Structure 1
Amino acid sequence: MDPHEERSVMDDTIPVSTDPTPGRVSSPADPVRLGRLLAFVFPATTAMYALFNGIGVILLPAQVADLAPGSKVGVLALLTTLGAVASMLALPAGGALSDRTRSRFGRRAPWLVVMAGVSGLLTIAMGLSTGLAVLAVLVPVLWFTANFYGGAISAILPDRVPVARRGIASAVIGLGTPVGILFGVNLAGRVSQLWAYTVLALVLFVTTLALVAGAREPSSLDLVTERPKRRGNVIAAVRAFFRAFGHRDFTLAFASRFGLFLAYFTVSGYLFFAVQDYVGAKNVPGGNVALAVSTLTTVSFGTWIAVATLCGWLADKLDRRKLFIAISAIGLGLSQVIPIISHSWSAMLAYSAVSGASLGTYFAVDLAVMSLVLPDKESEGRDFAILNVATGLPQLAAPAIAGSLIGLGGYGSLFLVSGASALVAGALAMAIRSIR
C-alpha cells in the first residue's frame, strides 16, 4: 500500500497529492478528520434536500392550486419542467466552475456560501410571491442556484474523503436525502407558507456557514495544475467538457444511475394515483389516499435509513461496492413484482419496505462508486456533477414514460418496466471494471 494512502486510512485526513500525471492537481493536505467533515456536510446536504422537497412536494403545488385552480396540473408541470431544465444546466456548471476556483477559502466553499445566500433570498421571495408570472421566473432561477450549490457540495466527497472510507461517507451523506425529504415535507405541511419558505432558506444558509467554518477547506491558491491550456472552438470546448464519457467506466456508471433512478421515479411520481386507482381508496385504512401515501413513504424512508449506514460500513469493510449495487438492483426489481402479484394494501406496504431497503443499500455506496470512476482529478467537481445529472434526466423523462405505460397496459406494466429498468441498471454497474 502507498504510504500516503495508509496514512489517510489511519487518521482520516487527505494526504498531499504528488501525482505528476498530466491533468492531475497537487494541493496541501486536508487537516480535517473524516468524522468532523461528515458532521458538517450531513446537515448542509439535508438542508438542501429539505429545500428541494419542501418546495417541490408541498409549497409550490399549494401556491399553484391557489393561483390557478382550474389549470393547476398544467401550470405545475410547466414550472417543474422549467426547474428541471435549469437543474440540468446548473449541476455541471457548479462542479466545473468550482473546479477552477482559486481562493484562500478553497475551491468549493466560496460558491457554497454565495449560492446558499442567493438561494435563500430567492426562496423567501417565493414565499412572498402572489403571481404566476413571478413564480415562473423565480422557480427556474432558484432551481439553478440551488443545484449549482449541489454541484459544488457533491465534489466534497472525491475532494476530501480517503478512498478507503468512501463507503461510510457515501452512506452518511446519502442519508441527507431521506432525512431532508422528511424534514422539508413535514415542515411545509405544518407551518404557514411564508414561515416554511423562510425556515428552509435560513436552515440552508446557516448549515452552509457551519460547514465552511467548522470543516474549513484548504486554500486552493497554491493548487498546481499540470494540464496545458488549449485553445479551440466551441465544439472542441463542448467535447472537452464531456470528455469523461470517453472513459468506459464513467459511461457505465452514468447509464447505471440513469436506469436505477428511472425505475424509481416512474413509480414514485404516480404513487398517489396507483394507490387511488390500482389498490383502490376503499382498500386503504380509513379510505384516505393521502394518508396512505404518507404511510408508504414513511415505511420506505424508514427502511432506507435503517440499512444505509450499515451497508456503507460493510462496503468499506468488504471492499465490494458492486456487490451492494447488485443487491440493490435485484431488490428494487423484485419489489416491483409485489404489487403485480397482489393489489392489496398489505402488498403495497411490503413493496414500500423492500424498495426502501433496496434504495438504502444503493445510496450507501452510490456516491463512493461515482467518486471512484472519475477519470480526471482536475475536473472531479464537474464530472461528479455530470453523474448527478443522471438523477435529473429520469425525472424529466419519467412522467411521459409512466403516463404512456399506464395508458397502454395499466399500472401492472408500470411496475414491470420499472423492475426491468432496475435490473438493467444493476447489470451495467457490474460491468464497471475500476471498482470491486
Structure 2
Amino acid sequence: MSDATRVLVLNSGSSSVKYQLIDMADGSRPASGLVERIGESQGRIKHEPAHHAPRERYEAFPDHAAALGAVADELAADGLGLDSDRLAAIGHRAVHGGTRFTEPTLLTDEVVEALRELIPLAPLHNPANITGIEVARKLRPDLPQVAVFDTAFHATMPESAARYAIDRATADAYQVRRYGFHGTSHQYVSRRTAQLLGRSPEAVNVIVLHLGNGASASAVAGGRCVDTSMGLTPLEGLVMGTRSGDLDPAILLHLHRVGGMSVDEIDTLLNRRSGLLGLCGDNDMREIGRRTGEGDAEAKLAFDVYIHRLRKYVGAYYAVLGRVDAIVFTAGVGENSAEVREAAVTGLEALGIELDPVRNAVRGSAPRLISADSSRVAVAVVPTDEELEIAQQTFAVVRRTAG
C-alpha cells in the first residue's frame, strides 16, 4: 500500500474551519481541531494532536487564508504538515451540489466555478465552502482535492418525493426541488446500522433520525435514500434548535402582508428565532429537560411539539418504506437524550417498535441496540462520523482516479 494514506478533512463555515486528519490505512486520527471567530478582532484555534497535549491560542484570523495557514502551521509542528508525502488528498465538506453533483467530485477550476453558480441555493454555506476550497488548493495545488456534498446521498430520491407541487416551469427555472441535507451522516449511519444488524446495507430498510441543533430524518431502502425531511433548504422538516421545520407556506405571506415583516426579517425569524428557541427560549435539549422536570409549561410544550413532529415523520417513513428493519438515532440529541428516544417511539408497539428502557438509559460511544428482544423493528443508537465518511469517499475517488 502507498505511504500516502492520510486524508485531511476540511469543513469551512462562514466564520470557522473544522479539520481532521484521518489515516485510511488504520483508521487513526493523528490530529483534529477548530478555528473559530474568523474575521473578528480575536479568534481562537484549538489543535488536538493524537500523541501530544492539545494546544490553544487566541489571535486574529482576518480571513480563511489566515485560518488555514494556522491549521497548516499546527499540523507541521507535529510533523503532519501539508507537505507530508503521507497526505493523499484533502476532502472538503460542501453543503449543496444541486442536481449536478450527486457523488464525491474531484475539484478542478471548472467544478469550483460550477459551485459558484449554485450559491443561490445555499447562500449561507456554499460561499464559505468555496473559500475554503480555494485557499486549500493554493496551499497544495499539486494534491488531489475532493468535494463531498451534503445533498448527494439524497439524490436517489424518486421524483415523486423530490418534486414540489408547484408550476413545473417555475420550479425548473429556479431549481426548486427537495435536495435534503446531512447526507454524509445519513449515509454513514444507515450503513453502520446494517453492520450492527449483521446484514448488508442492500438488505436493510432504515429510518435515520439525525437529531442535533439541526435535525433531519431519512427513509433509506437498501442503502439508497428514498425520502428525507429537509428540502430546498435545511429549513423544512423536523422542529430544530432555532429552525421552525414544516409550516404552512401562507404564514410567510401573512407575516408580510399583515405583520409588515420584510423577507429578511421572516428569514431570520424562521431560521434563527424559531424551533425550540422560539417556543420556550432555549434550544439546548438538556436545559429544556431540566426545565420540564421543574414543571415549566413552556419547556414542556416545546418538548411535546418536537416529539409530535418527530413521531409524524417516523410514521410517514414507515409508510414510505413499507417494511422497516431499524430506526436509528444519531447526532447530539439522538445519541445522548434517552428521554427524546423514549418519547419518540413510545406508543408505536402496534408497528412492531418496542424500546428496552434499561438499554435505552445506558450511555456509550459505540453503536448499540436499545430495542426490546421482542421488538420486530430494531431501535439503535449509532454515533455519526461525517468526517470519516468524507475521508472514505475522498480516498475512494483518489484511488479510482489514480488506478
TM-score bracket for the superposition, by shorter chain length: under 0.3
Q: Which structure carries more strand by proportion? A: 2
Q: Which structure carries more helix by proportion? A: 1
With the length of structure 1 as denominator, give the TM-score of the two structures: 0.25
With the length of structure 2 as denominator, give the TM-score of the two structures: 0.26
Higher relative contact order (CA 8 A, sep 6+): 1
